[in-house]
Amino acid sequence: MKQAQRSRLGWSCLALLILSSSFVDLAAAQQKPKLKPLHIALANHSATMTHIYVAKHLGIFENYGYDARVLVLEPRAGLAAMLAGELDFYSAVVPPPARRCAAYRCASA
C-alpha cells in the first residue's frame, strides 16, 4: 500500500513539474517584442492634438510595435529637429486667415 502511495505521489510531482514548466514556456513566448521608437513633436498642447494623446493612452502605438514619445516643441525647434532627422513626425496647427492677419497685422485683411 505504501508503495502505491509513493508511486502516485511521484507521478503527481512529475505532472506538476511538467505543468509548471509549460507555464514558464508560455510566459516566455508571450513576451512583447522590442518596440521601435517613434518621436512625435507637437507645437502646443491644443485640443486639436487630442487624438495623439488618446492613441498613446489607449496603447494604439504599442499595438503596432512603436514606442511613441510625444514632445512639445516650439515650431522653429521642431522643424530643425525634423530636418536633422531626430523626429519622425511634427504637427503644427496654423490659425485661420482672419486670426493670423489680426496677429500679424496684415494689410490686406
Contacts of 102 (CB under 8 A, 6+ apart): 109
Cβ contact 39:87 at 8 Å = yes
Q: Map grid coordinates 496603447 to a residue.
A: 59
**Helices H, strands E: what count in the chain?**
5, 3
* Predicted confidence (pLDDT) per residue in 15-39, tens digit: 555 656 555 555 555 676 799 999 9
Taking residues 49-71, report their average pLDDT. 92
Residue 109 pLDDT: 46
Question: In angstroms, rounded to a whole number, what is the distance separating the alpha carbons of residues 71 and 82?
Answer: 12
pLDDT band at residue 58, thresholds of 50, 70 and 90?
very high
pTM above 0.85, yes or no: no
Taking residues 71-99, report their average pLDDT. 82
Question: In angstroms, rounded to a whole number, what is the distance separating the alpha carbons of residues 28 and 50?
Answer: 36
Residue 55 pLDDT: 93
103 vs 87, higher pLDDT: 87
